[in-house]
Chain A
């Protein structure tokens, strides 16, 4: 109980209070301590990567043992170790095999997957984007005006660019600032709750 709940809560309280206080103390010794703590965080981040890779490998191996999507899991495992080995043996420089595989295999695959979204959006817009009522009509017209104004068409049609900039800089900016301030206050409230031990979901409920 002490090591699983009390100690982590004490650590979070102490480090949370120190971390938040250091931000406001300009004294060189406080800044030096903050620098050290940020370097510690970077080191802890490296452990997170190690943990993620270990858990990923364990999951793939479990799936293979259970006969669940064996081929996909094998491809993922081979790719993971293959790329790591290539990087370690051959290096990761601009002309290395590692970089060539990244640019010529991963980049087109990833970009292709994402580009499919454009086709789905067009099809969905054709079928679902309807001016059924006043609100939907306003949304539709605003979307069309912003798209046209922000594109190269707005370069020649200055009234369209001006209108698009007004929509973005006045109504859009006003609601965005409201949301940003709300999110900021929410983050402060959640942080205070975690530091004081009121919010404990991060310990697994």
Chain B
């Protein structure tokens, strides 16, 4: 067996080991990237940056742990940004796994603001509604009557109670919500466009995994989306920009996730490309050798 034949049949163990090393090194060494914000991410960032204090952002979590590395830091960065601008934040979920993850995002960001010396008030600054079954009909239902769709929040508080929940008490339908941002690893973004944008003219942005990017870019040019957060790169771009804002305005540095993760992803992508090149090189060399033998 020639060298090239041996190389083309390289045991999986070595390929896996190489990928493992490439992925772990940046995370262990905390090598942070300094990404430059892409255009689609910039659209979302600028929209939230220009929202008036007191306006309302509705965040929807429709993803599970498998998409968490991409979408979780993205959601945290968006929530930090909105709260820094005085925007009120409401959270909800259309799938069961996303409910716990959404709660984790709200809880972590609230703790960060507490540590930064700017405690937030539940019911006034942010509210977490939790899971509601019905998918498209929940999106449609908010447009009809918010309180009928979500009579209580995740903790069982009445959303109409003006004393304890002033934020949700003033929400009646999409007219009182300035932006919806859907963090999704499924097709829920299209459902938001169909029911909330088309029927109620609700402004919508979405945060998705990188493999879904090609499906949603078409909605930016048609104006159906205000912007798009596409995968780990967008998460890193947003996280880095908001970290700078927090350092400047609150003198607090939030823990980095996506800015470290994107280095691991970039290294893994380069490793994958290298593997494809080596595999093809071996393929052509073997073919050349076979032709010579003939």
Contacts and interface: CB of A to CB of B under 8 A. Distances in A.
A58 interface: no
Interface in B230-250: 230-231, 233, 236
Query: Chain B contact residues (Cβ within 8 angstroms of A): what range?
Result: 35 or more
A42 B33 contact: no
A68 interface: no
Interface string A125-168: 11101110000000010001001101111011000010001001
B119 to A, nearest CB: 15
A140 B268 CA distance: 17
Contacts of A152: 33, 35, 233, 236, 262-263, 266
B107 interface: yes
Contacts of B149: 39, 42
Interface in B132-182: 132-135, 137-138, 140-141, 144-145, 148-149, 154-155
Interface stretch (B50-58, B73-81, B85-93, B209-217): B209-217
A56 B89 CA distance: 36
B140 A118 contact: no
Contacts, number: 157
A54 interface: no
A147 B265 CA distance: 11
A114 to B, nearest CB: 3
Contacts of A140: 276, 280
Nearest 6 pairs between A and B by C-beta? Answer: A35-B144, A114-B66, A42-B134, A110-B65, A41-B137, A45-B134
14 contacts: A38-B137, A39-B141, A49-B133, A106-B100, A107-B101, A110-B97, A123-B16, A130-B279, A130-B283, A151-B233, A152-B233, A152-B266, A173-B217, A176-B214
Interface of B: 8, 10, 12, 15-16, 19-20, 23, 33, 35-36, 38-39, 64-69, 97, 100-101, 103-104, 106-107, 132-135, 137-138, 140-141, 144-145, 148-149, 154-155, 199, 210, 213-215, 217-218, 221, 230-231, 233, 236, 262-263, 265-266, 268-273, 275-276, 278-280, 283
